[in-house]
Structure 1
């Protein structure tokens, strides 16, 4: 039996990536204002079908910039799904606002519960963050309509959802601004990094200034407005350009593996494939639900012993308000989120997963369930 550990992360690097980075090195222009960064941003815009992409230092920074660009700060509230990762809610604290944790629609969905969101609105509510966890599309047009009715900003956290679609739109391109990550665990890998997507030219200019200490373009001075230093370095941008060339191929490969694993799990008693509703998942991971929390824990342990990392088990996945960083923030219980977090199990589905690995994952799941 192979002892190699198969994680969700699978950075795919080859000689084209090395050549791209070496070419950027040869220019000796390595800062976040180097021409290769603009080249990368144009390539991102074409890939995702939007007018503007703004590269930055991380997916967390992308959310932070989106909140700053909309003037969100002290005294404001931002609704965040209780099932979101810590990195989604930290920027809310960073701008001085208060995260309000809302429940999901049911225990088999990352979509926000619209009635629960409605009940948590207050005169201080300024924005709602939508999150497609593990690349599974979540919130559809109904959430956007709710935001429009109440004059709220919708920020899409698509950090794990490169290539996921809801309807005819890519997740991250359906609102005024979308935030994505290019951490090494993602389909587009620059080590660390992120980017924002928007069709709003004024918004793009604001984001550029905010990520570069108040400076919009070369030749201008810093401090034209408030800004931070959230630029993406040139070497990371060069790697991003190279990574984009294989993005479609990686997405297709992962979806094939994802479909095979989901089909195999559909016939296993005791677990249920996580449903993909109103869209297509991107192949970040295969998700399924155990019949009860104890079984989910056993499956996570059994998969780990067999060399397969299950993210919910590894990260002790739980609602956001149960993390120490948010302990001082008043929060009501979110029962659907609690149930979902306790039942969820994941499987890797990247290019490094061989057919024999797929068979071992399924046989491990069967063995644990039978025992």
Structure 2
């Protein structure tokens, strides 16, 4: 249990998750089996996607996605530097080069399509937009870039499960789910996500050719899974060298229980975001990210940007003093020791965001009284 009076995130767990785990124990099948298959089917229905594949975590999902579309040595992959490092790591481990684009603005910290267009070279293979905090990137513009240059799009939807895309210009159908817009979408079910299993991830795609490769690559390149072979005579073939990125039955069963709660939980998160937005309206020192897009957000993160790094530090200290936990999503990847000497891109908006942003508590069980207290504390910072 957290020692914070108001923790950043709290699991929305109950008897449903306990019963799901007990169901698996009672069936005595722990590896990828009927729970995983049901989880994939139910997730595909949510996404309106033809194919969904459960995997061990979202990093595995990103790795599989890149391997599936043939990203390798000599290729460049354009992506934001405001993200968890997994996407950049997987690009490097695929043998390709991450090319970092700036974000749109301090209050819209998703990848800037105009900068993306400037970074394209003959070596560019893919674009990996990240839907920050549950708020979708400018997908219509990014899709047009991909179409114009023949690029693959891999959506990093780890923050955006259950969110749909709304484009006021009508260039992408309203209601298209995050992760189901590009060629492949990747999701995370890490312990702090809207759909939390502790570990686990998912890939979705409408492309049959990619689905066939993902299915085999996920499990050693096998043409048939252990569950498919269970109780039947017969063998299997290894069609290509693959990985062991399977999800187990316990995590899948818990994921199914969480999936039932997802949309209601996201709706509650949006209510709390609206409360934050109204409370911070007109604040001189603080800007809420995506304040005008609350109605379409998955509500994964609540982030404010201070007018300077000193204000940010003062806000963190003031909240800590009353027992409110905060965090930062994310440090710029370009500032990590393993990246800053290899990549010299100058991304000024990214740099400012990383120095001035604070992640505030947001989860379905957060009270409006705590939201009001947090807002009052920030507004009092001098």
The answer as to whether partners of 1:188 and 1:244 remain within 8 angstroms in 2 is yes
Separation in 1 of the partners of 2:197 and 2:120?
A: 37
Which residue of structure 2 aligns with residue 124 of structure 1? 123
Report the Cα offset of residue 237 of structure 1: 0.5
> Which of 350, 353, 359 is the aligned partner of 2:366?
353
Name the residue aligned to 1:47.
46
Q: Give me the whole-angstrom Cα distance separating, in 2, the residues matched to 1:27 and 1:111.
A: 44
Counterpart of 2:335 (choices 298, 322, 335) is 322
TM-score (norm 2): 0.90
Distance between the aligned counterparts of 2:105 and 2:307, measured in 1?
15
User: SS where residue 161 of structure 2 aligns?
Assistant: coil
3-state SS, counterpart of residue 91 of structure 2? helix
Gaps of 5+ in 2: 167-173, 230-234
What TM-score comes out, normalization by structure 1 length? 0.93
Alignment match, 2:31: 31
How many angstroms does 1:276 deviate by?
4.8
Superposed displacement of residue 277, structure 1: 6.0
Deviation at 1:6, TM superposition (A): 3.0
- Taking the aligned partners of 1:68 and 1:282, their CA distance within structure 2 comes to 28
- Deviation string 1:169-214 (CA, Å, 9 cap, x unpaired) is 2211111110000011111111101001111222122111111010
In 2: Cα distance, 1:156 partner to 1:194 partner: 13
Tell me the SS of whatever aligns to 2:187: strand
**Cα separation, partners in 2 of 1:276 and 1:359, compared to 1, 3 Å:** closer
**Length, aligned pairs only:** 364
What residue in structure 1 maps to residue 88 of structure 2? Answer: 89
| Residue aligning to 1:342 | 355
* Change beyond 3 A, Cα 1:242–1:347: same
Q: What are the equivalent positions in structure 2 for 1:121-270 lying under 5 Å apart?
A: 121-167=120-166, 168=174, 169-217=176-224, 218-219=228-229, 221=236, 223-270=238-285
1:233 Cα shift? 0.6
Q: How does 1:276-355 map to 2 (within 5 A)?
A: 276=291, 280-312=296-328, 317-355=330-368
After TM superposition, give the deviation of residue 297 of structure 1 in Å.
2.1
Q: Distance in 1 between matches of 2:124 and 2:76?
A: 5
Deviations 1:289-331 (A, max 9, x none): 211121122212322332222221xx6x432111122234233
Counterpart CA distance in 1 for 2:378 and 2:369 is: 14
Contact 1:262 / 1:286 at 8 angstroms: preserved in 2? no
Aligned to 2:106: 107
The equivalent residue for 2:12 is 12
How far the C-alpha of 1:20 sits from its partner, in A, is 1.1
Kept in 2, the 8 Å contact 1:68–1:95? The answer is yes
Between the aligned partners of 1:222 and 1:77, the Cα distance in structure 2 is 33
Cα separation, 1, equivalents of 2:324 and 2:56: 30
Deviation at 1:356, TM superposition (A): 2.4
Matches of 2:325 and 2:144, distance apart in 1: 38
Q: Which moved more, 1:2-11 or 1:18-27?
A: 2-11
- Provide the residue aligned with 1:78 in structure 2: 77
Higher mean Cα deviation, 2-11 or 41-50? 2-11
Distance change in 2, residues 1:330/1:152 (3 Å) = same
More divergent stretch after superposition (63-72 vs 275-284): 275-284
Identify the range of structure 1 (99-108 vs 244-253) with the bigger mean alpha-carbon deviation.
99-108
The whole-number CA distance in structure 2 between the counterparts of 1:243 and 1:269 is 39
Q: Is the 8 A contact 1:100 1:331 kept in 2?
A: no
Measure, in 2, the Cα distance between the counterparts of 1:162 and 1:305: 33
